Amino acid sequence: MIRTHESALEEEARRLTTDYRTSRARFRAAAFAAGCDIESLPIERRGPDDQVLATDIAIRGGDGSAPDGRTLIVSSGLHGVEGGFGSAVQSAALERIDSMPSLRAIRTVWIHAANPFGFALGRRFDQENIDLNRNFLLAGDPYDGVPDGYDRLAPLLIPERPAGRFDLFGLRMAGEVIRSGFAAVANASVGGQYRDARGLFFGGFSPSDWHRRCRERMCDWIGPTELAIHLDLHTGFGPWGVGQLLLDATVERSEVERWRARFGSFPVITSERVEQSGGEKVAAVYTTRGDWGRWSLEERLADDYRYACFEFGTYRPLKVLAGLRAENAAFHHAETTSPAARRSRRRLEELFVPASLDWRRRVLGQGLEGIALGAAQAADSREPIMPPRPLP
Ligand SMILES: [Zn+2]
């Protein structure tokens, strides 16, 4: 395991930026210096100042010291506004690759800014207002429907005008939580809806740009692989400054144990565990449709494909939700340059990538540690390869 020196982390924390252009330039320079091949996938929409918006995929082959067919995938910015954090972790790891033998040993795939539009504009959602982590529906699952309880909350979640500085959203949601319980409200509001195109957590009416690109290209990026470990970097859920590995609810217990064995210092969470232990300290329990992770598992991109949402906590869930709601209302109903829109973007940025240097130091240190642990697991010749699970 690597322990990044405190002063180095301090410097990384100061260097972290939420600016897309700066983040992208640093990532590309770091990937190039580390010897990666870089593929850029621009989207049609331009960003502020007419800048090109693209997802960059950097790929580096292993140095031959690990068994063939071992791959680590590290992705950032699926939820655009979280990208500044994920990008900083990716760049910091690439810049340290010389001192990380396991990372050099295996094939590594670095997906930078899966949602470049959201990253550049400080939004969670993409250019079609799609939440990309609700868009990966499996074959046969129609882009249709809303979660239980959604209809009741929809008028509250999707205001018809920008929210003022003070509104009663927090209070009213707290009332809903008292009425229906936290899990029910969380499921209803964030589980993913396929009806209101200007709403929150909209999963789309069809596969998004990013979804289609993954379908076309992901197998090539990963290459022929026996064991792939995918860490998808996120922020905004869980205790302040704490990294957690969130596994898909359908993974088998043996897989949960394998993650725990390697990532002992990080909580490894599945909804099953939460249900069984009752009082487990998790901020919310909700199930979602259209996760990228579940899709990746079902696609069988490798013989043994393991995916975790590597999630770093910031603020309380209702506070985060209120910020998403306000930004979404301003995005759809106010001028981009209006004070209401600017205020809502600043607020969202703080909710997902807090300015606190202490938070930044902590999450950067844990992010680097998680990547080193993932690489060590992928590179280990003794790591058992599990057969693909049966399709449901
Ligand atoms: Zn996220």
State the DSSP string of 354-387: ---HHHHHHHHHHHHHHHHHHHHHHH-TTSPPPP
Confidence of residue 272 (pLDDT cuts 50, 70, 90): low
CA of 120 relative to ligand 1 center, distance in Å: 15
> The dihedral of CA 205, 210, 211, 215: what is its sign?
positive
CA of 202 relative to ligand 1 center, distance in Å: 14
Is pLDDT larger for residue 256 or for residue 227?
227
CA of 217 relative to ligand 1 center, distance in Å: 22
CA of 188 relative to ligand 1 center, distance in Å: 18
Is pLDDT larger for residue 213 or for residue 256?
213
CA of 67 relative to ligand 1 center, distance in Å: 32
**pLDDT tens sequence across 239-269:** 999 999 999 888 888 888 899 999 988 999 8
Task: Report how far residue 328's alpha carbon sits from residue 163's, in angstroms, rounded to the nearest whole number.
Answer: 10
Share of the chain above pLDDT 90, in %: 77
Largest CA distance in the chain: 59
Q: Lowest-pLDDT range, 38-42, 95-99, 179-183, 201-205?
A: 179-183
Task: Report how far residue 125's alpha carbon sits from residue 373's, in angstroms, rounded to the nearest whole number.
Answer: 30
Confidence of residue 280 (pLDDT cuts 50, 70, 90): very low
Alpha helices, DSSP H only, in 37-136?
83-95, 101-105, 116-121
Decide if pLDDT at 44 tops 80. yes
Decide if pLDDT at 2 tops 70. no
Mean pLDDT taken over the chain? 91
**pLDDT tens sequence across 144-170:** 999 999 999 999 999 888 776 667 888
Decide if pLDDT at 389 tops 80. no
Residues 169-178, mean pLDDT to the nearest whole number:
90
Predicted confidence at residue 287, as pLDDT, reads 81
Residue labelled with tokens 């490894």: 268
> The dihedral of CA 346, 348, 353, 357: what is its sign?
positive
CA of 64 relative to ligand 1 center, distance in Å: 34
CA–centroid distance for 235 within its chain: 7
What residue ranges in the chain does DSSP mark as E strands? 37-46, 52-60, 70-75, 107-112, 227-240, 243-246, 268-269, 304-313
Nearest residue to 371 via CA among 15, 106, 52, 118: 106
Confidence of residue 325 (pLDDT cuts 50, 70, 90): very high
In the 8-state DSSP scheme, what is residue 90?
H
Q: Lowest-pLDDT range, 5-9, 70-74, 227-231?
A: 5-9
Task: Report how far residue 196's alpha carbon sits from residue 291's, in angstroms, rounded to the nearest whole number.
Answer: 18
Q: Lowest-pLDDT range, 71-80, 159-168, 169-178, 273-282?
A: 273-282
Residues 173-185, mean pLDDT to the nearest whole number:
89
Indicate the domain borders of the chain: 6-147+191-314+353-379
Residues 18-38, mean pLDDT to the nearest whole number:
98
CA of 381 relative to ligand 1 center, distance in Å: 32
Predicted confidence at residue 224, as pLDDT, reads 92
Residues 59-75, mean pLDDT to the nearest whole number:
95
Neighbours of 135 (CB within 10 A): 29
Share of the chain above pLDDT 70, in %: 93
Decide if pLDDT at 4 tops 80. no
Predicted confidence at residue 6, as pLDDT, reads 86
Residue 32, CA atoms < 13 Å, CB-side half-sphere: 7
Task: Report how far residue 281's alpha carbon sits from residue 158's, in angstroms, rounded to the nearest whole number.
Answer: 30
- Written as six digits, the tokens of 199 are 């709403």
Predicted confidence at residue 240, as pLDDT, reads 97
CA of 116 relative to ligand 1 center, distance in Å: 14
CA of 358 relative to ligand 1 center, distance in Å: 21
CA of 83 relative to ligand 1 center, distance in Å: 9
Q: Which residues contact 337 (CB under 8 A, 6 or more apart)?
A: none
Residues 207-230, mean pLDDT to the nearest whole number:
96
Confidence of residue 391 (pLDDT cuts 50, 70, 90): low
Decide if pLDDT at 273 tops 50. no
CA of 169 relative to ligand 1 center, distance in Å: 22
Alpha helices, DSSP H only, in 205-252?
209-222
Confidence of residue 274 (pLDDT cuts 50, 70, 90): very low
Q: In what order do the strands lie in the sheet with 107-112?
A: 37-46, 52-60, 107-112, 70-75, 227-240, 304-313, 243-246, 268-269
Q: How far is CA 2 from CA 16, 27, 61, 218, 307, in A?
A: 20, 21, 21, 29, 22
* Cross-strand bridge partners of residue 230: 73, 307
CA of 6 relative to ligand 1 center, distance in Å: 27
Q: How far is CA 214 from CA 122, 207, 257, 282, 295, in A?
A: 23, 10, 28, 30, 10
Decide if pLDDT at 276 tops 80. no
Residues 373-386, mean pLDDT to the nearest whole number:
93
| Helix, strand, coil percentages for the chain (3-state, nearest 5) | 45, 15, 40
CATH homologous superfamily of 6-147+191-314+353-379: Zn peptidases (3.40.630.10)
Residues 43-60, mean pLDDT to the nearest whole number:
95
CA of 84 relative to ligand 1 center, distance in Å: 12
Residues 192-219, mean pLDDT to the nearest whole number:
97
Confidence of residue 271 (pLDDT cuts 50, 70, 90): low
CA of 65 relative to ligand 1 center, distance in Å: 34
